[in-house]
Amino acid sequence: MPSARVATLVVLLVVVVVVSLRLTVPLPAATPPALTSATSATSTPIGARPSVNWAGGDEPPVTILRAAERFMLGRSASLTAFWQHAGAWQQIDFTRPVSATGDVQVSAVPHDVPYGLTRRELQVATAVASGLANKSIAAFLHISPRTAGKHVERVLGKLDCRSRSQAASMCVQEGIIDLDLIVAEPMCSRLLNHDCPPAYVT
């Protein structure tokens, strides 16, 4: 059956030729996907660390960087607070950049806490400015509500304020705020955006 063998050889030859052609002909290169507007945008992504122009020396301290990050998430044009660093008090001023790509301007000036407030009283004043009740103040300062109430009374007296809401407004306007506290304590971090005032507790 020579004809059957010839047919089989022809089929095998055709298969070999087809396979060899597929191996030698290059496949078209895959076209890369087009960039979307999300990947080509030039704006700073949410949560990215802002550029800080720190007037205090070399690299900004971690507390300053964290405060600048949260400050930029708000809408306030500026923020003033007091920060104890290396045993000395400094008045820290944050200023929002004019453009989206600008630096947060941060200045530090040696300055005692005004009105003769102690460190604890500054913390309590910050909590009052955040709209917190004595029970909440006592919880995160690890003191009793009664002690917290006494601290609040002393703060009101030193600030010459008749109510908590008056003291809160004064603290925000004059920057009588503990920077460490508003960075570390979520209940007080709203002060980093004082264009959205808290519901003051009277």
Q: pLDDT (tens digit, 9 = 90+) per residue, 148-195?
A: 999 999 999 999 999 999 999 999 999 999 999 999 888 888 787 655
Instruction: Establish if 62 belongs to a structural domain.
Output: yes
CA–CA gap between residue 146 and residue 134 (Å, rounded): 8
Q: Which residue has the higher pLDDT, 28 or 111?
A: 111
99 with 127, same domain: the answer is no
pLDDT band at 81 (very low <50, low <70, confident <90, very high): very high
The pLDDT of residue 152: 97
Q: 187 vs 62, 139, 169, CA distance in Å?
A: 20, 11, 17
pLDDT band at 10 (very low <50, low <70, confident <90, very high): low
Instruction: Establish if 104 belongs to a structural domain.
Output: yes
Instruction: Establish if 141 belongs to a structural domain.
Output: yes
Q: Which residue has the higher pLDDT, 5 or 131?
A: 131
Answer for the pair 163, 202: CB distance below 8 angstroms, yes or no. yes
56 with 104, same domain: the answer is yes
In three-state secondary structure terms, 201 is: coil
CA–CA gap between residue 85 and residue 110 (Å, rounded): 10
105 with 120, same domain: the answer is no
Instruction: Establish if 186 belongs to a structural domain.
Output: no
101 with 121, same domain: the answer is no
DSSP 72-102: HHS--SEEEEEEEETTEEEEEEEE--SSTTS
74 with 87, same domain: the answer is yes
Helices and strands per DSSP (H, E), number in the chain: 8, 4
Number of domains in the chain: 2
Instruction: Establish if 171 belongs to a structural domain.
Output: yes
What is the pLDDT of the chain when averaged over all its residues? 77
Range of the domain at 139: 114-177
The pLDDT of residue 188: 85
